[in-house]
Each structure stands twice: as structure tokens, then as C-alpha cells.
Amino acid sequence: MKLVMAVVQDKDSNRLSDELIKADFRATKLASTGGFLKAGNTTFLIGTENEKIEELLEIIKDNCKSREQLVAPISPMGGNADSYVPYPVEVQVGGATVFVLPVEQFEQF
């Protein structure tokens, strides 16, 4: 068995959960925050059998889009003003960041 942790953009999270239910995957959605953008995103925890991993990754890939996002400039606050960029910078936020972990034991009581 594996535990898949997938960090996705909030805009994709409802569509992804609908597709997971349709394909009979069980998932838990956590409200999370990206360390870099400090903006909300959604983390899915999905426990599944090894032979269903490829199908699961395909569903995640098909339902999560990569998007450009603007990062507001952060003022130097007493730091080095030479490196200060006074205009917003665009970053590419991935469709999904996925970790696949082995599960040692799974119980439901």
C-alpha cells in the first residue's frame, strides 16, 4: 500500500475530489499554505493499493493545471535595498506536487 500526498492549487481541488470519488479512491483534503507564496493550497492524502498508483497519478495529472502567479514585492525593511525588486514577479505554480510514500501498516477501527 502507498500514501500519496498531493499539493494542488485550490482552483483544482473540487474537480480533483469529484474525479477521485468517481474512480473509487478515498482521500482526505487538508487546507494548506505554500511556504513561498504564503497563499492557500490544498493537500490531498490518498491511501491506495500499489497497483492503482499509475491510475491515480493520471487522474491527478489530468485535473491539475499549471498557472502563472504574481508575487508581490517584499520591502527590504532595513535589509539590503540593492537587491530589492520593486515590481511583482511572475512564478509558475505547478499543477501538482506529488509524494508517494510506502505505508507500513493500515488500520481502520
Binding-site ranges for ligand 2BA (CB under 6 A): 7, 34-37, 41, 91-94, 97
Residues 6+ apart with CB under 8 A from 67: 9, 11, 92, 93
Q: Grid coordinates 535589509 are at which residue?
A: 79
Element (DSSP H or E) covering residue 99: strand 96-102
Q: How far is the CB of 100 from ligand 2BA (least distance, A)?
A: 13
Instruction: Report the residue closest to ligand 2BA, judged by CB.
Output: 34
Helix (H, G, I), strand (E, B) or coil at 70: strand
Smaller CB separation from ligand 2BA, 28 or 92 = 92
Smaller CB separation from ligand 2BA, 66 or 75 = 66
Q: How far is the CB of 13 from ligand 2BA (least distance, A)?
A: 13
Smaller CB separation from ligand 2BA, 23 or 91 = 91
Residues 6+ apart with CB under 8 A from 82: none
